[in-house]
Structure 1
Amino acid sequence: MLAPIGADERYSPFGRVLPMLAYDAGHPPPARPVDGPGTDLVRAGLDEVTTALEARSGARASTLRWSRQLLAWLLAYPGEDWEQRWLASGADKAPRSWAAAAHAAGVVAVAGNAVTGCGLLIQARLLRPSYSWLLNTHFAVLFDRFPQANDPHEFARLRELPLYRRAGEKARHDAIAALVRVMIRTGKRLPQLTGDDLLGYADLVKASGRHRREHLAWELMVELGPFAGEPPTLRSAWTAKSSSRQYTAHALIGRYDLPPHPVVDLLTDYLTEIRPRLDYGTWTHVARSLGVVFWRTILEINPGQQDLRLTAEVAAQWRERLMTTTQGLPRSDYHAHLINVRAFYRDVSQWALADPARWARWAAPCPIRRIDVQTLRKAKRQRTARMQERTRTLTPLLPQLVETAARRRDWSGRLLTAALATPHGEPVTVDGVTYVRHDPPKPGRWNRDRIWLRDPDGGLLDATRLEADGFWAWALIETLRHSGARIEEVLELTQLSLRHHTPATTGTLVPLLHITPSKADRERLIPMSPELVQVLLAVQRRARGDADAIPLAVRYDPAEKTHGPALPHLFARRVGARQEVLSAHYVRTVLIATADAAGLRDGDAPIAFTPHDFRRLFTTEAVGAGLPLHIAAALLGHLDLDTTRGYTAVFPDEVITRHQQFITHRRTLRDAAEYRDVTADEWAEFEKHFQLRRVALGDCFRPYGSPCVHEHACVRCPQLRLDPAQIPLLDSIEANTHARIREAKGKQWLGEVAALRETLYHIGRKRDQLGAPTTRRQTPG
């Protein structure tokens, strides 16, 4: 009889121990459903099982022989059925060595025969190995043949789903393998599986150190029907049942391991009371300030503290500790914690007047002194100065970043297009650099649907990812700098965010960008420039792809810890078979890569743009071009003009000029009520500026509030953006100008000749902007 195999051998395919899977391997499988497949063979004898396998499976004679040898081997171990004998053998706890041990003991001639024979027993539902065993054992055909023998009609329905057809071969295989493993372990049929079954398996896979590959399986089961009542994606389901969800006040305070205390109960009641008026991110920050930074530190200083009435010594020690972190570094959010604690004391004191029975016993003097709060003003000024200094540093670097993003987008797109048209092993030349097309060595389901190239140094390039990163970096930079929106607002944009308005007075269509409520819960409409329209149309085309409509995607809000509804998000990409909204980590990654490619540096230090930098640059440019501050605040969604003012970084040589213009404008047009909302007339004037941009040859890009310095001689004006559709009109103007030059020469109007040649020169410049052909090119004079 083969000795039981060691119970401590739990290896992953990567050679790492899997401690989190040990409990699954050491416990018997869950109870088998009464009507489950294989129930009639669980307690049958060796001959009955062999006969049934031969009749049902259609397997080769050699596979049947190896299965019988394994069953004969299992008979030597105690147990009432085959599963108990399987566990008693120790094979379930040694997925990497049990087959070799069976071969060494003479059970099978070759170790691989034991795996093949065991696969047939699993297919027949005689054995239900643990997840750790299933994940660490390689089967050649089990995941293809198991669906053929168990619920073939349900698996056929699953393969007909549009989501399954859109997925790549590798994603399909991973989804089927996940469902088969869950069916094997639970003993259930496919329609009987529940969300908890797949979630349990997914958690074990994550604990083993592997990447999660169950996303498509979850979405297929939702679309197929068994998971119809579950969240639409695995991420949203996992979030709802994990630490990434929204906590109640009691659960949130419980995370801080505070000892039982009446003040802890008070903190819970206080957090519950203020929850409706705060967003979840701010609320959790307040909870941490009160629970960890304040009360836990107070108990460390004075373990006998019974209420909120602190002595002067305890309050002074707490303020001193607050200034540094546990690592001994200066605390950057020092004043934020002070404000939270001060608000806590003041709220309790005010509530004590309205409801003394509940709050009066906790009213106490606040340990935050007036001088502590007054230092906040200095800290705000210092923070504003740092923000403006950074804006002044980034302003001259923005054109280089924009140019690099556009160049990388074009290069990566041409590289991918050339690679797609080139077979394996053939050269691909782009911009004078020769690459070699390289396909993965394992075709079929192991191909990740990516295009690989070998660079001249022999390294591998993922052309598919390069093209995607180049496009999204360009799209994000252009959208952020032309809209001034927050990054979370950009990632929340959907197809429904693109609006338009046609005023009855002019009939000219004005494109608008609808920003949904975000940080300040204040929705707004932003007039879009032609550049922003072109960018968002390109994003819309990419998000739609070959489909008739933009696929739906579910966005996870890391601040609110919630998943939004399925919407046609614009800034979403295909990840495997699912459509996912770009994550904040991905946004930072592509922005850093673009800045690095542009070689942006401040002295010896590299510089990277953050998404919020573009919001400050947008504000500085708009206000510097003459846009009134309160209109800029409305466009940005700010509730306070001081916030908008802090975003603007006015350069020193413009300070006096801008200040004089502001004083003059205020004295002539406004009364003392400076801080007010935008009036309807001001909005009408603001919109009218954009409506008057349309001229015969194209669009005038004169800044808001500035006069026409060329006195409407548009063909000479550098602010004119020529419309390609108006090339025939430009040809007519050019022909007429040549005729007038000939007339002026004949009559010796030399001044007129010089002016007309200047016009021809600018006509040629306008053609160069569009790359339009020209027959003659005149220069001034």
Structure 2
Amino acid sequence: MAEVWPATQGSIEDVVGRMESPPLREAVRHTQWCRVTGVRQILGWLQQFPGDSWQQRWNASPAAASGVEWGRMAAEWIAATSSGVTATIVGSGLVGLVLADVLRPSLSWQMARRARHMQDRFALVRDPEGFARLQTLAGPGRWASLTGRRAVNDLTKIMVAKGGTLADITVGDALEYRAALQEHHTQSAGHTLFYAWLRRLGSLPDDAPATLRNLSRATGQVGIEQLVDRYDLTCRPVRDLLVDYLTERRPGLDYATLDNLSRFLALHFWADLEAHHPGIDSLHLPPQVAAQWKQRAQTKTVRRRRSDGTYDEVTSPRLDGSTLLIAVRALYLDLAQWAGEEPTRWGPWVAPCPIREADLNVKKQGQRVKARMDQRTRQRLPALPTVVRAAKELLDNAQARLQAVQTAPAGGRFEVLGETFTRARKPGSTWVYDAGGRRRDLVQRERRAFWGWATVEFLQHTGARIEEMLEASHHSLIQYRLPTTGEVVPLLQIAPSKTDQERVLLVSPELADVLSTIITRIRDLRTGAVPQVAAYDYNERVWNPPMPLLFQYDRSGEISAINGEFLRKCLNDVLDATGLTDADGCPLDFDPHDFRRIFITDAIRSGLPPHIAQVIAGHSDINTTMGYNAIYPADAIEAHRAFIARRRSLRPSEEYRTPTNEEWDAFLSHFEKRKLSLGTCARAFGTACIHEHACVRCSLLRAEPSQRGRLLEIRDNLLDRIAEAQREGWHGEVDGLEISLAGAEQKLTQLDAALKPSVVHLGLPAFGQIAGQSNTL
């Protein structure tokens, strides 16, 4: 921090002379007297401390150590060198010295002490033109709001600590102020508007961060060495190899892919090997080491918190296990190929690839994923109308509550939609208290309800990816004139995203209504234009250029782009309002990508050719489009039904006649007679018992697991009777008893085999679960 500048090097009389001249001179005589007297007292006290300037003496004094102590101890400190000292006079004198730029209290000093009556005076004295221009840019409403006053206060504190005007504030000053704010208040929410105003003034460079919000998450791209070093690899040669390898592949990869590849190779491959095999330093892996790593690569261990607060480690299959194997196999094969071109550079690292081609056979995994996604789509497709209706009702109710609170007096009670609320006493506040005393922000509720409705409507009518929706702008709406009829039709241009393929969608009347509602909401009321806002790409870790994005909102006076995390919260609010549950009774969840699958499924079901659906969806391969299609095989179902009808027409008609009452009673009585004490008889209808009701001997007896105890008693009794017959010499009796004993033991073996689990359940839906569900397509 600077300690010497012209204003802080003058004498006491020079400083007092400046206080007597405009613009520092106060209009009220008493205020001016207090100001000048306080200046003399403070400067007289500072003379006893070492330094060549008043700022150096201030830093050497106890006053600079704490703003809190200044308010309590200043009068006592200064009383040793001055007479008639009062806290009011000393406080007025300090304000004068700050206004005159003689003293610059640090940011931490200002955080600990509030400077009253200085904010408005500071703007007029230090930079009247800059603040006047800033007020014009902000508008009267925002300037007079709470967030506006807070932003002016933030700028004032920076100028007090750094000197100069608004145009002299740098990005570093803003970051330093943000760090000081977080240190003293643990959070900086609501203190970023000042930075947005500085950008609008044009005093910051073009490459400055677009906003201070979420600055810790908007880290930007880092170098390849930093990507690898975040995993602290022990073997330095292998670490250098991975850096060299990723550098070689960098030109053909986007940053998100490079980030994932570095994670696969550095963390999941080599760091895992070092953790389980300390001292490893070669890519030539022994067969046992390679086999163990491949086994670990297929699973992951996560910590889950229990209800009692403890944690449990759970091992589950890794969904990206095949991708990890492919990345490692590509490393070995690339090194082998590049060694032929540059043997000195890559040759020493060539080793047999531990991953065989057979290890990459993911056909079954793909089929399971396809079945799981199809079931998910079929379950959510019938629920889509309910979600759409709930989103609209939630928005209507939120807007009704907000309109009611805006017309209610401050502190007054009002009733809306059958609920009673009390408005906060602060004028202009939209906070309310419900009947239970809970506080609600109805503006925030209405905002989340609106963007939840907009998300549902946009996704269901376009089938776009969420990143494509967030990048849609006012410029995406274009007009196209049909060459045949000359009719002008609206189109929505989808910017390239995942596959870098640009495409256009026909805007339906429903989608046009949604887009017009969004544009009406986000327009600047003064200019009528859609504000331009810079959005951060969390995949590429770069700031996109400012664009009139459709998904933006006024966040405490700062126009901000909406991110996916906020939209998911809005979507969850809609789902909570529906009350829908899945087959297990859990609340039904919707991912933004579910709307894309539903859109494609519904389009193909309605007769849209798959290759046209491929173009609309922006897929490079039609197999991807068909993978999203979750329609039941209608052709196979209809062919099977036709086969059954044709077979029935060829068979004798008496086989399909209506049974008589006697026949039906005989049919029912047969099944009643199949109920036995040990289980159920499986003999066919119309057949007699072939074992004369010696059920233990019969192979058609299906014993119940609950009767296993009785079977054990029967077996033990048969053993005792056989022993008795052998002892008495009843050999004919022994033969019959042994047959019954063999039947009883066979039934026990069948029960034990049925009770013993023979398969491992992976959580995939069974056929009975799928067939038991009905879908209306």
TM-score, normalization by structure 1: 0.73
Aligned to 1:220: 197
- After TM superposition, the structure 1 = structure 2 runs for residues 281-292 of structure 1, keeping only pairs within 5 Å, are 281-292=256-267
Aligned to 1:157: 133
- The answer to whether 1:125 aligns with 2:101 is yes
Is 1:389 the counterpart of 2:375? The answer is yes
Give 1:91's match in structure 2, choosing from 57, 60, 63: 63
Per-residue deviation, 1:126: 2.4
Match of 1:611 in 2: 592
Change in 2 beyond 3 A, CA 1:52/1:219: same
Deviation at 1:434, TM superposition (A): 3.9
Of the structure 1 ranges 515-524 and 243-252, higher mean CA displacement relative to structure 2 is found in: 243-252
Residue 130 of structure 2 is aligned to residue 144 of structure 1: no
Query: In structure 2, how many angstroms separate the alpha carbons of the residues matched to 1:326 and 1:649?
Result: 31
Offset, 1:538: 1.1
Rate the CA distance shift 1:457–1:213 in 2: closer, same or farther, 3 A: closer
1:19 counterpart residue number: none
Size of the alignment, in residue pairs? 617
Match of 2:523 among 544, 568, 579: 544
**1:218-245 C-alpha deviation (Å, 9 max, x unpaired):** 3333333432544372349958xx8711
List aligned pairs for 1:29-428, cutoff 5 A.
29-32=1-4, 34=5, 38-41=7-10, 44-45=11-12, 49-50=15-16, 52-55=18-21, 56-58=24-26, 59-102=31-74, 107=79, 115-161=91-137, 169-208=145-184, 209-213=186-190, 215-231=192-208, 233-235=210-212, 244-259=219-234, 261-322=236-297, 323-325=299-301, 328=313, 329-330=315-316, 331-374=318-361, 376-428=362-414
Residues 732-757 of structure 1, C-alpha deviation per residue, up to 9 Å, x if partnerless? Answer: xxxxxxxxxxxxxxxxxxxxxxxxxx
**What's the CA shift for 1:613?**
1.3
Higher mean displacement: 485-494 or 341-350: 341-350
Per the TM alignment, residue 281 of structure 1 is displaced from its structure 2 partner at its CA by 1.4
Partner of 2:628: 647
Say if 1:229 and 1:49 are closer, same or farther in 2 by CA, change over 3 A. Answer: same
Asked if the contact 2:68–2:112 (Cα under 8 Å) also holds between the matched residues in 1, the reply is yes
User: What is the deviation of 1:304?
Assistant: 3.9
> In the alignment, what sits opposite 1:757?
none
CA distance in 1, matches of 2:452, 2:469: 13
- Distance in 2 between residues matched to 1:450 and 1:238, nearest whole Å: 29
Displacement of 1:157 in angstroms is 2.9
**Which secondary structure state, in structure 2, belongs to the residue aligned with residue 274 of structure 1?**
helix
Closer/same/farther in 2, CA of residues 50 and 472 from structure 1, 3 Å limit: same
Give yes or no for contact 2:190–2:556 (8 Å, CA) kept in 1: no
Using the TM superposition, name which of 506-515 and 214-223 deviates more.
Answer: 214-223
Pick closer, same or farther for the CA change 1:416–1:283 going to 2, 3 Å.
Answer: same
Q: Residues 512, 157 of structure 1: CA spacing in aligned structure 2 closer, same or farther, 3 A cutoff? A: closer
Equivalent residue for 1:695?
none
Q: Where does residue 495 of structure 1 map in the other structure? A: 474
* Bigger CA radius of gyration: 2
Residue 486 of structure 1: how far off its partner (Å)? 0.4
Mapped partners of 1:175, 1:658: distance in 2: 71
d(CA) in 1 for partners of 2:468 and 2:396?
27
| Preserved contact between residue 392 and residue 651 of structure 1 (Cα < 8 Å) | no
**Aligned partner of 1:563 among 528, 538, 543:** 543
Q: Which residue of 2 aligns with 1:528?
A: 507
CA drift of 1:473 comes to: 1.0
For 1:593-631, what per-residue CA distance to the aligned partner results, in whole angstroms no more than 9, with x for missing partners? 111122122244222322111111112211222222222
Residue identity in the other structure for 1:381: Q
Aligned ranges 1:565-714 → 2 under 5 Å: 565-602=545-582, 603-651=584-632, 656-657=637-638
1:168-223: per-residue Cα shift (whole Å, max 9, x none)?
Answer: 62333233222222222223343333222223322333444222555433333333
Please state how far the C-alpha of 1:478 moved relative to its aligned partner: 0.7
Alpha-carbon distance change, 426 to 315 in structure 1, aligned in 2, over 3 angstroms: same
TM superposition shift of 1:274? 1.9
Flag the 1:558–1:164 CA change in 2: closer, same or farther, 3 A: farther
SS in 2 for 1:525: strand
The answer to which of 114-123 and 612-621 deviates more is: 114-123
SS state at 2:554 partner = strand
Counterpart Cα distance in 1 of 2:254 and 2:2: 42
Question: 1:669-717 deviations in whole A, cap 9, x for unaligned?
Answer: xxxxxxxxxxxxxxxxxxxxxxxxxxxxxxxxxxxxxxxxxxxxxxxxx
Q: Name 2:453's counterpart in structure 1.
A: 474
Tell me which amino acid in the other structure corresponds to 2:67: P
Shift of 1:319: 2.6
Query: Partner of 1:514: helix, strand, or coil?
Result: strand
Task: Work out the CA distance in 1 between the residues paired with 2:277 and 2:209.
Answer: 50
1:559-604 CA-to-partner distances (Å, cap 9, x unmatched) read 1111111111111111133321211111011111111122122244
Q: What are structure 2's unaligned runs of at least 5 residues? A: 304-312, 643-777
The offset of 1:165, in angstroms, is 6.8
Q: Aligned to 1:486, which of 459, 465, 475?
A: 465
Looking at structure 1, the residues matched to 149 and 394 of structure 2 have their Cα atoms a distance apart, in angstroms, of: 34
Q: 1:347 to 1:57 in 2, by over 3 A?
A: farther
TM-score, normalised to structure 2's length?
A: 0.73
Distance 1:560 1:469 in 2: 27
* Shift in Å, 1:551: 1.0
**CA contact under 8 A between 2:474 and 2:548: conserved in structure 1?**
yes
Distance 2:639 2:609 in 1: 11
Q: Supply the distance in 1 between the matched residues of 2:479 and 2:638 (Cα, whole angstroms).
A: 36
The whole-number CA distance in structure 2 between the counterparts of 1:578 and 1:163 is: 13
User: Partner letter of residue 380 of structure 2?
Assistant: L
SS in 2 for 1:140: coil
Letter in 1 for 2:196: E
Distance 1:357 1:163, change over 3 A: farther
Q: Which runs of 5+ in 1 are unaligned?
A: 1-28, 444-448, 662-781
Deviation (angstroms), 1:314: 2.7
Cα distance in 2 for residues equivalent to 1:192 and 1:69: 31
